Amino acid sequence: MSKYLVISTAVIDQIHLSNGEYVGDYLGGAGIYALCGLRIWCDDVTLITGIGSDFLPSWNKWFIQNRCSTAGLYECDPCTPHTDVRYLQSGQRIDTPLLGKEHYKKMEADTPKISHFLEDATGVYIFQEIPSNYWDSILEHKKKHNFKLEWELNDLVACPSRLEEVRKIACQCDIFSLNHSEAQSLLAVSDTESIIADLKNWDVPMIFLRLGSDGSIIIRNQSITKIPSISCGNVIDPTGAGNSSSAAVLYGYCENYNDYQCGILGSISAAKCIEQFGPPDLSRMDRDELLALLNQISSST
């Protein structure tokens, strides 16, 4: 079993640029990027998700090359989800599940598939909505096994009508991660100051508020820590920055880094995941070099 678990999906992204150019099929999905965000800092990470029987013949090479476990991947359909990704001139993107939303949801790991992995886990990252009975079971396992739990909000439940449900779950997690637009929609406020003021009243050990190129904010014990974004190279594709940074923050939290360092871990992971289409080649990364960068940035504040 692994020390860190990522519970989310793996898909194939068919990426089109804002000018309509098709650039290719790439391994993607929130689970893949969160896996990378953690794997940059730690070897002992497992992704848990359903896949199609066509997945490993095409992508097992990536898992082997990057020394990522496939123990949490289980076949539940002949086909892996494919997502049509189209970027707009505004920088936003439209994602369309080509096999339909129900097929995509079929890949999401339910608690019977997850439970035996949780027994020895230190940290668990989940990107999920609010399926019936799902969170009750996860939170029972958390009480039993005492792992640290991060919930990255799925934007499909980021609306005022779901606020109380979201808050109830978030307040039973160790980290709650959401981006600025999700916070605006969930809380029905527009400016960052109002968002922070509201989230400071949530009884969550750590809230990770992502601000895109403006960095992030960590809210903990009523204190605010501002985190800068980091550029390690050219920005090619911003896909996965939020997932990778959130997962890296979980690592920092579990390994007792301070709040600023947790945020910088997230910024570095995000920077490395947006330097290319698809996930990064982790085998080419020098962890000691990235830790030195972490220490350099942390010591300069």
Domains along the chain with CATH numbers: 11-293 (3.40.1190.20)
Average pLDDT of 87-102? 90
Q: Which residues are CB-neighbours of 84 under 8 A, at least 6 positions away?
A: 14, 16, 95, 96, 98
Can you tell me whether residue 183 is helix, strand or coil?
helix
Of 237, 273, 244, the residue nearest 91 (C-alpha): 237
The one-letter amino acid code at 5 reads L
Average pLDDT of 30-40? 98
Distance of CA 219 to the CA centre of its chain: 18
Residue 84 reports pLDDT greater than 80: yes
pLDDT in tens, 168-220: 999 999 999 999 999 999 999 999 999 999 999 999 999 999 999 999 999 99
- pLDDT, residue 182, reads 97
Bridge-based pairing of strands 45-52 and 4-7 is: parallel
Tell me the pLDDT band of 235, cut-offs 50, 70 and 90.
confident
Tell me the pLDDT band of 233, cut-offs 50, 70 and 90.
confident
Tell me the pLDDT band of 300, cut-offs 50, 70 and 90.
confident
Average pLDDT of 150-161? 96
Residue 1 reports pLDDT greater than 80: no
Residue 301 reports pLDDT greater than 80: no
- pLDDT, residue 93, reads 87
Tell me the pLDDT band of 113, cut-offs 50, 70 and 90.
very high
Tell me the pLDDT band of 238, cut-offs 50, 70 and 90.
confident
The percent of residues in the chain predicted with pLDDT above 70, rounded, is 100
Q: Which helix (H) or strand (E) holds 12?
A: strand 11-16
Tell me the pLDDT band of 143, cut-offs 50, 70 and 90.
very high
The one-letter amino acid code at 119 reads E
Q: How far apart are CA 178 and CA 210, in angstroms?
A: 6
- pLDDT, residue 231, reads 83
Q: Say what the pTM is.
A: 0.96
Residue 62 reports pLDDT greater than 80: yes
Please give the torsion angle defined by the CA atoms of residues 38, 43, 48 and 50, in that order, rounded to the nearest 10 degrees.
100
* Strand ranges (E), 121-205: 123-128, 148-153, 175-179
